Amino acid sequence: MTQSRVGEHLRLSFAKVAEYQRRGAVHFHAIIRVDGPERPEMPSPAWATAEVLEGAVHAAVRAVEVSMSYVPGIGERVFRWGTQLDVHPIRRALDDGPITDQAVAAYVAKYVSKSVGDVGGADRPIASYEEIDLLPVSPHTRALMGTCWRLGRLGELDGLSLRAWAHALGYRGHVLTKSRRYSTTYAALRFQRVAHRQQAIGDGSPEPSDTGTDRSWRYVGSGHTSAEALVASGVAEDFSVLAELRRGFAASPGSPYA
C-alpha cells in the first residue's frame, strides 16, 4: 500500500506533550491513535494493530532528520532523534480491556504537571543579556539561557528566534499540541460554556447584557509619596549605572551584550 492511499483505510490522530527535564532537554510524549478513515468512532482496519503502529513509529524516528545551515565556529549540523525511544500501548492498570478516555487523560496530565516548575525558567521573554543574571533560576538553567542569547546574535540562526525564546531555553512549542480531530476543539468547548451559562440563568435565553454597576469615586491623590519617590529615584539610578556598564561591555570584542 502506498502512503498516498493510507487515508482511504485509516486516519492517524495524535496528542503530544512537551516535558522539560531538569537538565533542560525537552522530552516528547505522544499518544497516537488509529481510527477509521471518516470518523473517530469508526473502527480501524483489523491489520492496523498496535505492533504495526509501533513499527511505523520506529521507522519514522530513523528516517526524520533536520539539517542546520553552516555557521562559523559551529559548522554544519544534522539533528536526529536520539536513542531514548520508548513505544508501548497505553493499557488499563488492572487488565487489558478497552482503553478509556480517563486513562488517556491521566497519562497526558501526568507529564504536563510533572514538567511545570521543574526547570525553573522565566515565564516571560528576556529583554537583555544581563537580565538573565537577575533571574531566580539555577546556574544550569542560567547557562542555557545565556547560550540561547549568544547564539541568537548569529545571522545564520535568525529563523530560530533564540533571543525571543531564551526564557524557554530556546523551545518555541506549546506544552500540548494535537491533531485537529483528536479529542475536542476549542470551538466546541466555547460552545459548551455558552450553553452552560444560558442554562444557569434558567430559561435558556442569552444572558442579559444590561448589567447595572454601583460605584463611588473620590480623589485620594496622585504621584509618589515622599518614600516612594526616594525608592523610584534609587531604582532609576541603578538602571542608569547598569546601562552604562552594558555599553562598556558591548564595546569589548566578542561580548554577548551586543
Does residue 241 surpass a pLDDT of 90? no
Q: pLDDT higher for 226 or 253?
A: 226
In a domain, 171, yes or no: no
**What is d(CA 90, CA 6) in angstroms, rounded to the nearest whole number?**
23
Q: Assess if residue 196 is contained within a domain.
A: no
pLDDT of residue 208: 56
C-alpha–C-alpha distance, residues 30 and 16, integer Å: 4
Q: Assess whether pLDDT exceeds 70 at residue 176.
A: yes
Contact present, 121 and 137 (Cβ < 8 Å):
yes
223: left (phi over 0), alpha (psi -120 to 50) or beta: left
The pLDDT of residue 255 is: 66
116-168 confidence digits (pLDDT tens): 555 657 888 999 999 998 888 889 989 999 999 999 988 888 888 999 999 98
Range of the domain at 112: 7-119
Residue 127 domain-assigned (yes or no): no
Residue 71 lies in a domain: yes
30 inside domain:
yes
**Mean of the per-residue pLDDT values of the chain:** 82
Q: Give residue-wise pLDDT tens across range 101-117.
A: 677 777 777 766 665 55
What does the pLDDT look like over 49-63, one tens digit per residue? 889 999 999 999 999
Q: Is the pLDDT of residue 8 over 90?
A: no
For the segment 17-31, what is each residue's pLDDT rounded down to a tens digit? 888 888 888 888 888
Confidence bin at 224 (pLDDT 50/70/90): confident
> Taking the model in full, what pTM does it have?
0.62
pLDDT the model gives residue 145: 93
Between CA 138 and CA 135 the distance in angstroms is: 9
Report how many domains make up the chain.
1
Query: For a pLDDT cut of 70, what percent of the chain falls above it?
Result: 85
Residue 227 lies in a domain: no
Q: What percent of the chain has pLDDT over 90?
A: 14
Element (DSSP H or E) covering residue 195:
helix 186-200
**The pLDDT of residue 17:** 86
Residue 38 lies in a domain: yes
Q: Is the pLDDT of residue 205 over 60?
A: no
In a domain, 154, yes or no: no
CA-CA-CA-CA torsion sign (140, 145, 150, 152): positive
